[in-house]
Structure 1
């Protein structure tokens, strides 16, 4: 039996016009790019972290792992808090925590303090689902598709653009300046959000599920820790197997609790719905595919030519060659909106994953020159941009308006799990197939090609999963509860339902809070 969702009214509720929605989209996209910069800024100095922090290589990897774990934990939690207490408010909190973490990292060379700061930076990952939720609640229908596409792709956009900039800073300035730059971007994003982004009026009922949040956090840490560290510990070692077993137990118990609590952190019944489940599983595969290119191309570009296959480029040039990945993702957002308007987001997702598969397939034979890596980055960026842009539209079309933040938070988590698995598996492949160059071990061309095959296989699995998604077009506009009868009539007039066939007469939409109202798809 479906539960009815109540949405609290807010006085003076109105849809923003184009003049106001423009800054909202720009600011939220900038916030997403800021989060991506935070994730990418240490990539140019990863190999130097043991020396910079006076520690072992195994310990230095915790600087990256801490951010990953914190981001995975915070994403669904911040999404749910946004549904309950205001998405803009939680967006500001996420950015503020990131700024604090950046300032901590900028002021220390101590490993433990650095890990703490990086974990705080990871909490900014919640900005992505919160931004998508604000867009759904605030933007006019004609702007929503391309806006969500840009927000969803902002991780790739920011990562691609930040890589050469971070490399330039790392080469010519103290590496702590990277964190000062991250803090400055965070403060600017906060100021713009506070000034230009309105607080959406939609609120979910109930209270925050503290036990559910703690259970999910523990389960995710127990799961992702051995996934990210299994290569160092050994995949059959007692710590790895023990943590994976503990993760299964904790997550099963958490799931049973969530099914019984009246206000769960994650509505597992909604999550188990076919369109939501398949979209989340496909998201994991897209995450695997996205991270593979980020691991392979920079290393190939920077390996010395003496290896016989390395391209001998500097850190900055390598960043510039990979940058088109993010730039292309940004430019395909309007293309996504056009394709999705005609064919639906399922078709766009499948097209994107097909382009990704073609890009990795071509990459198997195009790794002998820098210009070829640029070509691969462009093709993969186009495919990943289309795929990432489709995911929030598929999720939004399948859940209640009051669950937008939590549902997109869970979907973002699925992408993070994909990138974690990709990092672990491809890292293991590159290590196991490495060769000796001089006095050091370096990745081999065989390892790079196997990595591309793994990414191509993952995205083809995602393509099969997407083929079983319902072939309907979810609504691209929010469902609001107006504060007066006059506002309700205006909202009803502006948002006609789309339940019928495209060739049939559409039903009159209503401003309501039930599950049926939030799922007005048209068959295609």
Structure 2
């Protein structure tokens, strides 16, 4: 069955099959990544390393991935998004296979870096959705993609704890290999190449300067809670990143075919969405850190649950998000992306403000209800922002736009745990547990007040930013950018 939208023909049966592939993608990646978290202490013991060293298992993936999302996004625009998607997914598949066989910690870091190149699958998938799906279908598919992130996290955390406990950390990767291979086969078999190609020479100077900016900045943020934000190491890294950023902007302004087109990403809607996604990821990370401690700290400082139980207690939040996201995507062309994003940010802000005052006094059912409400708000906001982005940018540079968006998201996700860790290290009390030689640092009520209150303030700021966006859909009509002009699509 074919449909005609914006003067182009779309194969609806293909779109439905392709939607299944891209919707399952975040489920797979969250399964793989979240299963690793409970395994970190076991990895630390096997390779006889300290906690700071084992954190590099997460950091190296993020460092390589943050550069790769921008690089592969650009290459997707130049050579075809399906082609680069398969290459990125190939890196991810290879990394997952090799991780479980790493003979040393150094080899594990190398294979995790290989896996990091695969992080580019997300911006490329978002681009393919925007290009190859009927515009009226895009918001619903984006909604399902957003929901699957939460579902994958809920499945992976308890499952990862169970696998690590019973089979060892290597099986967190071995168990994922069949699913990754199936995903690669489905993507190769089902997905079509994008219809928009923007050939040109790769901006290698921009790529090098991007790495020169991103790597020191992310290393500084991840190390600062340990060595100090004003330590000599932190200041040198932050200074290096600042110099790299200035040079990168100068290079991209004069480059013939820039890696990150400044004139595009600095326009109103893309700029607001990128900053908004960065702050949103920052707020989510701070909230997640607080949730982890409240669920797992012993009573009366928390609910005293295991990792497995904590994951199961997040199931209601995931179910709510799974229902809300596609419904929001279906309603969005009628009511507009902007009102839904605004409502989501205000719901999240209000819920977090309430938790900043009462989180430590809530019963377990009340706490689970509150994080489900906050999750609803975050879902509404995230799905709206990504749709605002993809309809505000011409298809010929969609890879660059979504790659830059992922770069901003990664920065927010990195800053969140670092700031949360600093707050919890500042406001704590010592608790001596039987069988544990060193007193345990327990975050105080003040720490949670600052974490939830800070996140509430961030989402309130996002509401103000959303007010400044230009609406791209309303009343059944989608206003989308097509090259340098705008087209209007009527959604039946």
With the length of structure 2 as denominator, give the TM-score of the two structures: 0.91
Deviations along 1:286-306, one digit per CA (max 9) or x if unpaired, are 11122123212222212222x
Deviations along 1:469-494, one digit per CA (max 9) or x if unpaired, are 12443899xxxxxxxxxxxxxxxxxx
Partner of 1:441: 440
Distance 1:430-1:109 versus aligned 2 partners, 3 A rule:
farther
1:451 and 2:447 are equivalent in the alignment: no
Pick the aligned partner of 2:114 from 97, 117, 120: 120
Flag the structure with higher strand content. 2
| Aligned-residue offset at 1:195 | 1.4
Partner of 1:345: 337
Pick the aligned partner of 1:99 from 63, 87, 93: 93
3-state SS of 2:485 partner: coil
Q: State the distance in 2 between where 1:459 and 1:498 align.
A: 26
Q: State the distance in 2 between where 1:329 and 1:53 align.
A: 38
| Aligned-residue offset at 1:227 | 1.0
Deviations along 1:240-274, one digit per CA (max 9) or x if unpaired, are 01111111111111111111111111110111111
Pick the aligned partner of 1:514 from 480, 483, 488: 483
Q: State the distance in 1 between where 2:178 and 2:8 align.
A: 33
3-state SS of 1:332 partner: helix
1:406 and 2:400 are equivalent in the alignment: yes
Q: State the distance in 1 between where 2:120 and 2:317 align.
A: 23
Deviations along 1:286-336, one digit per CA (max 9) or x if unpaired, are 11122123212222212222xx22212122111111233333333222222
Q: State the distance in 1 between where 2:441 and 2:350 align.
A: 27
Pick the aligned partner of 1:36 from 21, 24, 30: 30
| Aligned-residue offset at 1:404 | 0.8
| Aligned-residue offset at 1:451 | 1.2
Contact 1:167 1:319 in 2 (8 A): no
Contact 2:142 2:329 in 1 (8 A): no
Partner of 1:185: 179
Distance 1:46-1:431 versus aligned 2 partners, 3 A rule:
farther
Deviations along 1:26-72, one digit per CA (max 9) or x if unpaired, are 11111222222232122213344422321011111111111121221
Unaligned ranges ≥5, structure 1: 1-12, 477-495, 500-511
Partner of 2:132: 138
| Aligned-residue offset at 1:462 | 1.4
Q: State the distance in 2 between where 1:497 and 1:387 align.
A: 18
Deviates most, 29-38 or 311-320:
29-38
| Aligned-residue offset at 1:191 | 0.9
Contact 1:106 1:179 in 2 (8 A): yes
1:144-159 paired onto structure 2 within 5 Å? 144-159=138-153
3-state SS of 2:319 partner: helix
Partner of 1:75: 69
Partner of 1:175: 169
RMSD, aligned CA: 2.4
3-state SS of 1:436 partner: strand
Q: State the distance in 1 between where 2:163 and 2:10 align.
A: 40
| Aligned-residue offset at 1:125 | 1.9
Q: State the distance in 2 between where 1:311 and 1:212 align.
A: 49
1:233-248 paired onto structure 2 within 5 Å? 233-248=227-242
Deviates most, 272-281 or 199-208:
199-208
Partner of 1:320: 312
Distance 1:515-1:474 versus aligned 2 partners, 3 A rule:
farther
3-state SS of 1:144 partner: helix
Distance 1:449-1:208 versus aligned 2 partners, 3 A rule:
same
Q: State the distance in 2 between where 1:241 and 1:474 align.
A: 47
1:255-404 paired onto structure 2 within 5 Å? 255-305=249-299, 308-364=300-356, 365-367=358-360, 368-404=362-398
Q: State the distance in 2 between where 1:142 and 1:340 align.
A: 10
Distance 1:471-1:140 versus aligned 2 partners, 3 A rule:
closer
Q: State the distance in 2 between where 1:516 and 1:64 align.
A: 42
Segments of 4+ in structure 1 off by > 4 A?
A: 496-499, 519-522
Distance 1:369-1:45 versus aligned 2 partners, 3 A rule:
farther
3-state SS of 2:440 partner: strand
| Aligned-residue offset at 1:361 | 2.2
| Aligned-residue offset at 1:102 | 1.6
Q: State the distance in 2 between where 1:87 and 1:276 align.
A: 20
With the length of structure 1 as denominator, give the TM-score of the two structures: 0.85
